[in-house]
Chain A
């Protein structure tokens, strides 16, 4: 049964533009391989952190919204833990209202582009 999930992760700021792109595509392909489609993908870019993480005070935020089997989440999270470019990640399961909110946000995103 496909559940709706969203994940936000922070990349270390010392990455070059190309490395950051690779990291994001790496996780998108990982999801696609495990039979999930990435519905939305936003890069909030470099943002100041509220408190230093690993000695750095800013990071590249990336937001992914996708639907997948519950078992895929374990593989995704181990990939996050193994990858040293990722400073922090948070995946959440979307309930009815959260998913509605995510859809509205996606349409607003498209409207802006």
Chain B
């Protein structure tokens, strides 16, 4: 018989221990996202060259918009491709 204190659960209690996401711009105090530097912007693009959503990169809304504008300007200047297959 299980002792009084021990409670058994039907489904195992999953503890998600993934690290807390943070906005790198706030943490490092970056104020301006430069569209002329494609290397930095590539961190926010996936393999096809599309902009990663906030839920994956964890950036705040204000800086996600700045990144999106910077990426669009870089694409206009052909520093970044609109669509590609192997970006990294």
Contact = CB atoms under 8 A, between A and B. Distances in A.
Given A97-B31, A98-B32, A92 B78 contact: no
Contact of A50 (B32, B34, B73, B81): B81
Contacts of A49: 78
B36 A50 contact: no
Contacts of A8: 36, 77
A61 B77 CA distance: 9
**Interface hub of B34, B76, B77, B78 (most chain A Cβ within 10 A):** B78
**Interface hub of B73, B77, B80 (most chain A Cβ within 10 A):** B77
Nearest to A94: B32
B82 interface: yes
Taking residues whose C-beta sits less than 8 angstroms from the other chain, chain A's interface range is 10 to 19
B78 A51 contact: yes
A41 interface: no
Nearest to B38: A50
10 contacts: A50-B75, A50-B79, A51-B81, A51-B82, A59-B78, A61-B77, A88-B77, A88-B78, A90-B77, A100-B32
Interface of B: 31-32, 34-36, 73, 75-82, 84
